[in-house]
Structure 1
Amino acid sequence: MKSTDVFFVSDRTGITAEALGSSLLSQFESVEFNKIHLSFIDTLDKAIDAVEQVNRASSKAGSPVLVFSTQINHEFRVMMSKSDCVFFDFFDTFISKMERSLELKSSHTAGRLHGLSHNSNYTDRISSINFALGSDDGLGAKSYENADLILIGVSRSGKTPSCLFMALQYGINAANYPLIEQDLDNTRLPESLQPYKHKLFGLTINPIRLQKIRDERRSNSNYASLKQCQNEVKRAEDLYHTNHIPFIDTTQTSIEEISAKIINKLSLR
């Protein structure tokens, strides 16, 4: 498999550069990308060092590496564009085009998206994160009334990370409930969930993948046995079908995709 270094460069956290860059990289499944983050490149010395790192990587590889940048500072962007790399300048690609279209200059403020003082949804997102943590693994039955949705599924099917992602990115109050042995004895919904059926969304997963995940957590246990995983997944899906609960398979699905599908299905945005 071919491999190459990829740099994500930013004046701030680099979250946007990585998100945009990774969406493009995902289209090349036959290439192994070694991702390198150069965040908070906000001084000349740091910019010079970043350029040197990129040049060294390209020299070692024998060909230009990839650089995805959301740098605001014009001088630093020019420096990086002249280095030995294939340069993807998201700022120039999108902001400059918008400036021409709107006939206005942007604020050129670094970290605008993630800045606390400029994000009107920040408090809501923090509140939702606390909600997700407080209602993790069925702990928040009393708070289900305030939940926007309740994810259900067998242990290690992806409930907690999905809830936290939706809280962080969208300010959604997402609770989750783990389906345990007692819940799977029949296809009747657990009593605590029955009043909130309209908020439920199920997750399922390939039993072989589930077995590998569980084995990392509790090796050579019945909990991690393939037979147990197959049994739990089948009974969970039976419960979904019987109660007409929408569900998705998380086996080959990213947290971003899981969240987007849930939000769309339940019309949460």
Structure 2
Amino acid sequence: MTTTDDAPSPHPRAVFFVSDSTGVTAETLGSALLANFPGVTFARETVPFVDSVAKAQRVVGDIRAAAETGPVPLVFTTLRSPSVKAVFHAAPGTTIDLLSDHLTDLEQALGVTASEQPGQYHGLGNVERYFARMRAVEYAIEHDDGQSERALEIADVIIVAPSRCGKTPTTMYLALHHGLLVANYPLTDDDFPTDGLPPMVAPYRERCFGLTTTPLRLSQVRHERRPNSRYASIAQCTLELRRAEELFRRTRVPFINSSAKSVEEMSAVIMQSMKLHG
């Protein structure tokens, strides 16, 4: 078992990525979904090669232990065996089958029943494209929220925006679905006043793309993370958004308002604007 914990929290929510193969698909798809909830702390565990009821029952023991000491665990699975899947659906956690609905749709469309051989669907049609996407996801995780300056020169796009404007979900979507190398940088009070972009991303202005939103929407999202704080106040949100838009215009960085757009729509606009092809 391979364990990776997020930032410390008194009660992190346990997350298990369970697979009958390597676990890469379960971890990648599950992590992309979790990226939509940056205010929640997760303790992640990837459990590969769970291809028997006995192995599943051992993992359920870990899930049960996590449920006894913290919030209800989340269990993301990519499993083919009905008997193995049944073990997890009876476990004391919220089990999310990442493939079941999609396989059912395909069975109906193709008129063929899917194979129950463990790991069968991991034989991907375009291996190079698959691994390109995996590398893109790794790059996105490393460069989330301005955490790393390493290899920024190879980024396809650098998303720049105030906190909670949708940087991380958009970054992960572009990486996972299009295999693009995407970094993102959060604009904070420390970045102002300034005439140009922050030093970390200034050399790559032509690769930068900005996100904004409305003060009300930003305040609502921030209140979920820090209720009744200055950070979430309408005044602070209005100030940060105004400064960001002025910065984007001054430095000729294209930007869009994310308040009424889905991640898919924002990604399409970014790709079209930056002339990127996934």
The interval holding the TM-score normalised by the smaller chain is: 0.5 to 0.7
Decide which structure has the larger Cα Rg and report it: 1
Q: Does 1:146 align with 2:169?
A: no
> Quick one: distance in 2 between partners of 1:118 and 1:42?
22
Match of 1:118? 125
Match of 1:137? 145
Q: Does 1:186 align with 2:167?
A: no
Given that 2:166 and 2:211 are in contact with CA atoms closer than 8 Å, whether structure 1 keeps it comes out as: yes
Match of 2:205? 197
Q: Which runs of 5+ in 2 are unaligned?
A: 1-25, 30-77, 86-100
> Quick one: distance in 2 between partners of 1:71 and 1:151?
34
SS of the aligned residue for 2:200 comes to helix
- Amino acid of the residue matched to residue 268 of structure 2? A
- Choose which of 243, 248, 260 in structure 2 pairs with 1:252: 260
SS of the aligned residue for 2:165 comes to coil
Cα deviation 1:181-221 (Å, max 9, x = unaligned) = 12131342112222101100000011100001111101111
SS of the aligned residue for 1:126 comes to helix
What is the CA distance between 1:143 and its match in structure 2?
Answer: 2.0
- Choose which of 168, 171, 178 in structure 1 pairs with 2:179: 171
> Quick one: distance in 1 between partners of 2:125 and 2:113?
12
> Quick one: distance in 1 between partners of 2:200 and 2:162?
16
> Quick one: distance in 1 between partners of 2:115 and 2:80?
14
What is the CA distance between 1:263 and its match in structure 2?
Answer: 1.0
Q: Does 1:156 align with 2:164?
A: yes
SS of the aligned residue for 2:265 comes to helix
Given that 1:187 and 1:238 are in contact with CA atoms closer than 8 Å, whether structure 2 keeps it comes out as: no
- 1:71–1:264 distance in 2 versus 1, CA, 3 Å: same
Match of 1:223? 231
Q: C-alpha root-mean-square deviation of aligned residues, in Å?
A: 3.4
> Quick one: distance in 2 between partners of 1:109 and 1:263?
36
- 1:71–1:177 distance in 2 versus 1, CA, 3 Å: closer
Cα deviation 1:81-102 (Å, max 9, x = unaligned) = xxxxxxxx67666x68xxxxxx
- Amino acid of the residue matched to residue 185 of structure 2? Y
> Quick one: distance in 2 between partners of 1:255 and 1:42?
33
Cα deviation 1:229-250 (Å, max 9, x = unaligned) = 0000011000011111111111
> Quick one: distance in 2 between partners of 1:107 and 1:128?
33
Given that 1:71 and 1:91 are in contact with CA atoms closer than 8 Å, whether structure 2 keeps it comes out as: yes
What is the CA distance between 1:142 and its match in structure 2?
Answer: 2.6
- Choose which of 229, 235, 238 in structure 1 pairs with 2:243: 235
> Quick one: distance in 1 between partners of 2:275 and 2:113?
33
> Quick one: distance in 2 between partners of 1:171 and 1:146?
13
- 1:207–1:116 distance in 2 versus 1, CA, 3 Å: farther
> Quick one: distance in 2 between partners of 1:204 and 1:109?
46
Q: Which runs of 4+ in 1 moved over 4 A?
A: 39-43, 69-72, 89-93, 106-110
- Amino acid of the residue matched to residue 254 of structure 2? P
> Quick one: distance in 2 between partners of 1:256 and 1:170?
11
